[in-house]
Amino acid sequence: MPAVPQRLSWAVETLAVMPGDRLLEIGCGPGVAVSLVCDLLTTGTITAVDRSATAVERAGARNARHLESGRARILRASLEELRLDGERFDKIFAVNVNLFWTRDPARELALISSLLAYGGELSLFYEPPSAERASALAADLTRTLSSHGLTPTVVRGGERLVCVRAS
């Protein structure tokens, strides 16, 4: 297996996953973060979604043992198509998913708010090409999340890694 990208290691570390957490990853790609999260879970679970059939296939292959154990579930869907029948999550996160800053994500943030458990948290992780872009992105996301009634905080992981958390 190739080395784990620093942004994913940092993201999972920053999430502070507890053994019983219920997590939702938006845009799971090949499932690297799913693997890292599952290694920290005992009674908890992660549901990972991606709109790409190729990504879902790769994530499933990478996480076969976690799928079999019931710790992971991987679904092919876009966020706006996601239907989880009343499930709630302690932590919802996304890594380098652009929909939160390229347009008004009102519909998606309303869905996320309905999926968060009481006291739950949304974490949006990015690794832009420069420290300046990371700062600008954090400011943009803070304004966007605040305008939708969420309370954001910014966490930095060096010059280019940024996380905007909201509850």
Residue keyed to tokens 């879902």: 56
Alpha carbon distance 128, 60 (integer Å): 27
pLDDT of residue 1: 57
pLDDT digits 0-9 by tens, 25-58: 999 999 999 999 999 999 999 999 999 999 999 9
pLDDT of residue 20: 98
Which residue from 21, 18, 11, 80 is spatially nearest to 49, judged by alpha carbons? 80
pTM, two decimals, is 0.95
Is the predicted pLDDT of residue 2 greater than 80, yes or no? no
pLDDT of residue 81: 86
Alpha carbon distance 63, 117 (integer Å): 25
H or E segment to which residue 154 belongs: strand 152-157
- Residue 70 sits at the vertex; the CA angle it makes with 65 and 76, to the nearest 5 degrees, is 85
- The mean pLDDT value for 130-159 works out to 94
C-alpha of 167 from chain center: 14
101: pLDDT confidence band, cut at 50, 70 and 90? Answer: confident
Residue keyed to tokens 């309905």: 114
